[in-house]
Structure 1
Amino acid sequence: MLAARGEPGEVGSSWLLNHRPFADNHLMEPGVKAGAPVLVIQPGGEPPLQVRGVALTGIGPVLAVRLESPWPGMPGDEVALIAGELGARIVARGRLLEARASVASIEITAPWKHVDRRRGQRFATELEAEVRSVLGQSRQKGTITDVSLTGMAVVTAAKPGGREVAIVTQAGAYSATLPCELVQASRSGEGVTLHLKFRELTAAQAAFVRNLVAAAQSRLLHERSEAS
């Protein structure tokens, strides 16, 4: 999901909507393959509206997407698009042409670009966690859904107060409290996804994160070997 601000190389939805369009023959490069996951975002809300879907076709300057739920807006809505799998995502700007039932046709108005919001590669995981708000001193349960050496995504019931949070989690016999900064919160079917980047970590905290990433990477490689 798009980050409003953060580390070098991050791209926010405001950047997408203000990016200067290119010539039409460049709009679909690198393009979207049929079946690729697509996230359609309408910036402006807090958090911004997001609807997930699957690309039906990405040939030419129009992208057709089958959405998980009907688009609540109107033709002409300016949207940001994220397509592809974690670690190989591309982003673009678009305009809603038509939405019938769960299928939306979106005109690509700025070129697709490769983007990775974190310097470190992200790996999917599923770990229980506690989200502690430093400002509001609130605590709530959450689930870590992906992790990298520089940050993580956590799904929780509600957005915590303030930008500084602490994520308490356990992996095997070890536990850690990881200081994080909230980059962006986005609505999802499960609740709210918190996109976090790590603040300054101690040596022990950094080692814990490296172990999380290594374990997630090992699971991914095992799954790929089993599938081949």
Structure 2
Amino acid sequence: MTARTMFVQAFDHIRTGYYKKVDSKELKYAGLGGLMNSLGDPHTQYLEPQIAKEFDLETRGKFVGIGARLQGDPLGARVDTVFEEGPARRGGVRAGDTIVGVDGKSVGGLPTTEIVKLIRGEAGTFVSLELIRKGVEKPFKVRLKREPVVTPSVEFKMIEGALIGYVSVISFSEPTTEQFANACPSSARNRPRASSSTSAAIRAGCSKSPS
């Protein structure tokens, strides 16, 4: 009996003989996941179609959202970074703000990934965010128009008091190589003393999520 025949027979037996109703799609995904897990390779896994689509967007560094990077917070999601070009910046969202509601729904206690899903959507549609900000007495709302965003995965800064350029690679995506090449401004590239000491900070496993 071939492996394929065994898999099909087991699939059909569970689908028709199990005492509870079984979702064939979920059963199929679980079987494919089991095949990948049996390899014992932490870098090899099966992704369900929707998750694979989201993963592809992340690796391409392009998605439709508001242009901000979020971190987990007990009250919802804290805005870690606001991209230079994006709806969040234009709408007045600041780094340090905490998102406590999305489209009238409280997001306290939700995983950051779930909050990101609520914020993202089709280009041209709107999302309403309820924010709290340090120094502002009451929560307030902003209405932002979702649009295509390119995630900045590289940041550059000059170390204060020293002729040292610091390049930080926040995450790896399709545009990272080009962004890295363009990170150092021409003024620094023309001064070898500054650019010769440039370092790259590679932070693996970053938990921040762009939205």
TM-score by length of 1: 0.29
Q: Report the structure, 1 or 2, having the larger helix content.
A: 2
Q: Report the structure, 1 or 2, having the larger strand content.
A: 1
Greater RCO between the two (CA within 8 Å, min separation 6)? 2
